Amino acid sequence: MIKKAIRMKLYPDLKGEYTKRHKELWPEMRKMLKEHGAISYSIFFDPETDYLFGYLEIEDEEKWAQTADTEINRKWWVFTENVMDTNPDNSPVTVDLEKVFEL
């Protein structure tokens, strides 16, 4: 199992909408994440900065990287691009975080 952490930026005052969309995560999106090796995926919100912190446990980096090429993921990116910082292809701007400690 590989542990990953990422940081993303939510637009101000859109935590409620972002949370709502994830509570209603499409079944085909859940299926795709599992098929691409997601063991677990949690997202945390920092209200002082509007940063989102994603924590993932995945099976394989290569398999996980293929999520970007799926039709359902690209559809999700379009669906969420109006609530967070995104790249020109609508993917979320993400920063990989470096693990400095684990107990």
**Is 22 a residue of the active site?**
yes
Contact 20, 67 (CB under 8 A): no
Query: Cα 44 vs. chain centroid, distance in angstroms?
Result: 10
Tell me the two tokens of residue 44: 């945390």
Which position has the token pair 């509570």? Answer: 23
DSSP letters, 57-99, are EES-HHHHHGGGGSHHHHHHHHHHTTTB-B-TTSPBP-EEPPP
Annotated catalytic residue: which of 3, 20, 22, 63? 22
**Residues marked as catalytic:** 22
